[in-house]
Structure 1
Amino acid sequence: MTAQTPLDIRTEPPEAAGERETLTGFVDYFRATVVLKAAGLSDADGAKRLLPSLTTVSGLVKHLTDVERYWFRTRLDGQRDVPTRWSAADPDGEFRVNDNDSLAELIKDYEAACRESREVLERYDLEDRCRGRSAGEGDGDGDVDGDVDGQNVRWVLVHMIEETGRHCGHLDILRELLDGSTGD
């Protein structure tokens, strides 16, 4: 018997809309998919390693939380001192799960980061350039970015669709391995 994930209340991206609405529709759809795939698991299942890497449901939620804050608050908006769990000393820090990590709280933090990203995004047009510099730090996906002053809001949105969508696939596989839940 296949387990069921929580009720799917995601809003499909628009099929006929302007560029901005299409891009934000897809990123919001994938953000909601992250929550859908993670919700309802126990803390133990969220932290359970099913792969040789540090990849877990809780770790992916933490990673995507940091990525949201990094790309929208740090890179796009130029905010300083935005916290991340990764560092030069621990580039995989956001994937590390400890006994104090509550999956429900991690999901709430992810949802808060997504709200913060939407608030930042409201202040910019698609052609506006990123205000923050990378200063050699990575975005948490293993890449080290150079100076991206040439990147614009459109690029950040497309990158977040790619990043979040890719990790939704990981979450889908992990969820099926954990409790048999399948679905889009």
Structure 2
Amino acid sequence: MTDDTAMDSRTEPPEAAGEAETLTAFLDYFRATVVMKASGLSDADAAKRLLPSLTTVSGLIRHLTDVERHWFRNQLDGQQDVQTRWTAEDPDAEFRVADGESLAEIVADYEAACRESREVLERYGLDDRCRGGGGTQNVRWVLVHMIEETGRHCGHLDILRELLDGTTGD
């Protein structure tokens, strides 16, 4: 087994900061972990199914891309034209990775979605309500949810990476 800490360029969240800075720093740390866990994989390995489910490295990153856009652009900012791969007819569409899909393009799209999310977030305070989805959640809730969602999938990526090539690490 190898340790992937040599590829680690993530910024650790501050140990003492305000609430908004702490929440966004933890989310950014997990976002960087997603990218780190995919680094160095071939397109084929990233799309390889190792479990009975549709779970793959590429599929998880596409899922997180759609989740970023859904929660920040659609739910928080109220944008109506935000597309996701999942639909009522195919709720797992983002996990379906076709042969030949580029991991580099999937990661680039994820990084673009994260930038879009940061841009939306700059316009809101933690107590502001979401403009979409009925406005029941506030920004704080969205950030905590995204930390949970991204962190959970980082664990999945960690396991998949170890199964694929033995790479382990934080």
Runs of 5+ in structure 2 lacking a partner? none
- TM-score with structure 1 setting the length: 0.90
The answer to whether the 8 Å contact 2:34/2:157 transfers is yes
- TM-score with structure 2 setting the length: 0.97
1:183 aligns with 2:169: yes
User: How far 1:100 sits from its partner (Å)?
Assistant: 3.7
Q: Deviations over 1:57-85 (max 9, x none)?
A: 00000000000000000000000121111
Runs of 5+ in structure 1 lacking a partner? 134-146
The answer to whether the 8 Å contact 1:72/1:121 transfers is yes
The answer to whether the 8 Å contact 2:56/2:160 transfers is yes
Q: Deviations over 1:76-133 (max 9, x none)?
A: 0000121111001100000000024100110000000000000000000000000011
1:54-93 superposed matches below 5 A: 54-93=54-93
Of structures 1 and 2, the one scoring higher in RCO (CA 8 A, sep 6+) is 2
1:33-182 superposed matches below 5 A: 33-133=33-133, 147=134, 149-182=135-168
SS in 2 for 1:74: helix
User: How far 1:2 sits from its partner (Å)?
Assistant: 2.6
Identity among equivalent positions (%) equals 80
Report the residue type matching 2:25 in the other structure. Answer: G
SS in 2 for 1:78: coil
Total equivalences in the alignment: 170
